[in-house]
Amino acid sequence: MDLMLFAPEITLAVTGLSVLLVGLFLPTDSKKVLGYLASLGIIVALIFAISSLGTQATAFNDTVSIDALSQFFKIVFLVVALLFAISGIKYTEGSSSTEEFFTLGIFATIGMMFVASANDLIVLFIAFELASFATYALAGFEKKNPRSLEAAMKYFIVGALSSALLLFGISYLYGATGTTNIPGIAANIDVLLSSPMGLVSVVLLLAGFGFKIALVPFHMWAPDTYQGSPSVVSALLAAGTKKMGIVAALKIFVVALIALQAEWQMAFAILAVITMTYGNIVALNQTSVKRMLAYSSLAQAGYISMAFVVLTPLALGGGILYVMSHGFMKAGAFIATAAVVYMVLSEKKDAADPDHIDNFRGLGRRMPITAISMTIFLLALAGIPLTAGYISKFVLFSSTIQAGLVWLAVIAILNSAISLYYYARVVKYMYFLPTDSDKIKEPLPYTIALLIAAAGVLVIGFWSEPFIYWSMEAAKVLIPGGI
pLDDT of 351: 67
Q: How confident is the model at residue 156 (pLDDT cuts 50, 70, 90)?
A: very high
Residue-wise pLDDT for 363-418, tens only, equals 888 899 999 999 999 999 999 999 999 999 999 999 999 998 999 999 999 999 99
Residue spans per domain, the chain? 3-478
Spatial neighbors of 29 by CB under 8 A, at least 6 apart, are 94
Please choose, from the candidates 203, 264, 266, the residue with its C-alpha nearest in 3D space to the C-alpha of residue 407: 266
CA dist 415 and 401 (Å) reads: 16
Segment (H or E) for 230: none
pLDDT of 304: 94
- Percentage of the chain exceeding pLDDT 70: 98
Please choose, from the candidates 308, 317, 278, 271, the residue with its C-alpha nearest in 3D space to the C-alpha of residue 294: 278
Which residue intervals of 94-239 are DSSP H helices?
98-117, 121-139, 146-177, 182-187, 190-193, 196-213, 222-228, 231-236
Rg of the chain taking only CA atoms, in angstroms: 21
Contact 98, 35 (CB under 8 A): yes
Q: Global pTM?
A: 0.94
Contact 396, 322 (CB under 8 A): yes
pLDDT higher than threshold 90 for residue 275: yes
CA dist 100 and 88 (Å) reads: 12
CA dist 355 and 239 (Å) reads: 19
Q: How confident is the model at residue 272 (pLDDT cuts 50, 70, 90)?
A: very high
CA dist 282 and 280 (Å) reads: 6
What is the mean pLDDT of the segment spanning 197-202?
A: 85
CA dist 423 and 421 (Å) reads: 6
pLDDT higher than threshold 60 for residue 481: no
What is the mean pLDDT of the segment spanning 29-46?
A: 92
Please choose, from the candidates 289, 240, 301, 247, the residue with its C-alpha nearest in 3D space to the C-alpha of residue 84: 240
Q: How many CB atoms lie within 10 A of CB 27?
A: 7
pLDDT of 263: 83
Q: How confident is the model at residue 426 (pLDDT cuts 50, 70, 90)?
A: very high
- Which of 44-53, 123-132, 326-335, 347-356 shows the lowest mean pLDDT across its residues? 347-356
- Which of 95-104, 351-360, 411-420 shows the lowest mean pLDDT across its residues? 351-360
pLDDT of 480: 63
Task: Write the DSSP string, 162-183.
Answer: HHHHHHHHHHHHHHHHS--BHH
- The type of residue at 330 is K
Higher pLDDT, 282 or 3: 282
Residue-wise pLDDT for 432-457, tens only, equals 988 777 778 888 999 999 999 999 99
Backbone angles phi and psi of 57, in degrees to 5? -160, 160
pLDDT higher than threshold 60 for residue 85: yes
Contact 150, 91 (CB under 8 A): no
What is the mean pLDDT of the segment spanning 236-250?
A: 90
pLDDT higher than threshold 80 for residue 3: no
pLDDT higher than threshold 80 for residue 349: no
- Which of 117-126, 265-274, 344-353, 364-373 shows the lowest mean pLDDT across its residues? 344-353
Backbone angles phi and psi of 96, in degrees to 5? -85, -10
pLDDT of 52: 85
Write the CA distances from 258 to 122, 238, 471, integer angstroms.
19, 27, 20
Query: Of the ranges 1-5, 52-56, 254-258, which is most confident?
Result: 254-258
pLDDT higher than threshold 60 for residue 237: yes
pLDDT higher than threshold 70 for residue 1: no
Contact 185, 177 (CB under 8 A): yes
The length of the chain is: 483
pLDDT higher than threshold 80 for residue 258: yes
**Cβ neighbourhood burial of 352 (10 Å; 0-12, 13-18, 19+):** exposed
pLDDT higher than threshold 70 for residue 2: no
Residue-wise pLDDT for 292-312, tens only, equals 999 999 999 999 999 999 989
Backbone angles phi and psi of 474, in degrees to 5? -65, -40
pLDDT of 435: 76
CA dist 409 and 216 (Å) reads: 19
Segment (H or E) for 291: helix 289-310
pLDDT of 147: 87
